[in-house]
Amino acid sequence: GSTLVISECVDSGAYNLEVLENLEQMGVVVLPGRVTAPGSIFSNKGLTYQMLQDAGQEDLLARYVTVPASQMNTSRVVASILDNVDKFSGEWNTRRFFVKPVTGGSGVGGFRISLTDKGYFVPDLSKVTGDALEIHPIHLDLDPNDDRRLDELLWIFSLFSADPYYRKQYMWVDLETLKDRYGTGDDREALRQHLLKTGAVHTDGARERSLDRAGMQAKLEEAIRRYEEYFSKRYDPVFCEHIDFGAWGLRVHYRLTSRGIQLECIYARIFQLALTEEGVSYVGSDNISNKHTGVLEAVRLTPIKEVMVNTVGGHAAFLDLLKRGGLAALALISTQQPDLRRRIPVRCQIDIAPIDGKIGEGNADTARGQALGTRWSSFTADMRAWFQDCLRHYSLRKSGG
């Protein structure tokens, strides 16, 4: 091949598996190639999970099953989701699950479903129906007596309170109001009392809003038909054990070369969390851009703070998360043809849940996140090393090595 193409910031409309195959047929060398191309492993939750299973890394994952939707009508797909809730609540010993389409990102099509003693409970279907204009707060579950979690939330809310835009978006009730209400001068104690009170209300509310099997079947069918109509494609779900991320997701960038694995950068993506009269709630998707305001909320991308490390369980526990992400990144190599393994340089980014220590997903589109989440000097040094790795491999290919 006389031409080298290095895929880095990926838009699936411009570059995907089909484009890759056309380029390769023309003799172009594309790096890293198939392993990170849109339409490949990281574009499909089922394939991402399969990759980790095949590499013997099942313990990095939330447990999941796929639903063979192509063989079913919409009604049957919904019935199979409810069958899975019934079946796996016993087998996995949990009452909370997450359902999302096997392809796609940004939380589109995803919803939580729980089993209560009154039936099935789904807090929000707006990401399935496309009704994104209306905000449906989703309760954040945490132990109000865990001071580390409370201190982390207080730090996040102090971050939001410092700017008028973020204050409007996320401080629906302020701490001064809560301190007055609960008769304390201490921020942490006011937040604790608020969470104790609202947690009990939320549990009662979930029970009251629960539906029996027929009611939930009808509700989910209507929502999924709207999804299929809006996106002109079948709802092809992955049924997952619910992962507890907590207040933020850990994003870790790795570069894999013949010389080993390099950790390029780490940062946190704070979720759209609001302090409300109902407690602490998720009030948007996990995107860094706010879909309601159109604002890229860069404040929610942050270096890892000591208060976050404490939530994970300390420095040793945090380093273990980075190691787990590295094992997931290494699993990518096992998907390559044997003669190419450890020869083609690969870059990827892994999402890790700090609370559960599970892998949420991966992304091959690494430059965009790095540009926001790392210093310019580090970003350019990493890019330089990455290009040198690619050029080294390209030279070997050209010389027949």
pLDDT in tens, 325-346: 988 888 877 776 666 666 778 8
Which of 240 and 401 is assigned the larger pLDDT?
240
The enclosing H or E element of 250 equals strand 248-257
Q: Write down the architecture of domain 4-136+212-388 according to CATH.
A: 2-Layer Sandwich (3.30)
pLDDT in tens, 256-296: 877 788 899 999 999 999 999 999 999 877 778 887 888 98
Reply yes or no: is the peptide bond before residue 303 cis, omega within 30 of 0: no
Instruction: Report the distance separating Cα 52 and Cα 327, nearest Å.
Output: 9
Is residue 80 very low, low, confident or very high in pLDDT (cuts 50, 70, 90)? Answer: very high
DSSP state string for 354-367: TTT--EEEEES-HH
Instruction: Report the distance separating Cα 327 and Cα 54, nearest Å.
Output: 12
Domain boundaries, the chain: 4-136+212-388
Mean pLDDT (the chain, rounded): 87
**Average pLDDT rounded to a whole number, residues 102-117:** 83
The region, left, alpha or beta by phi > 0 then psi within -120 to 50, assigned to residue 252 is beta
Quickly count: other Cβ atoms within 10 Å of residue 311's Cβ: 25
Residue 1, pLDDT > 60, answer no
Answer whether 308's CB lies under 8 Å from 248's CB: yes
Q: For residue 69, what are the CA distances in angstroms to 101, 238, 264?
A: 10, 10, 38
pLDDT in tens, 149-193: 999 999 999 999 999 999 999 999 999 999 999 999 999 999 999
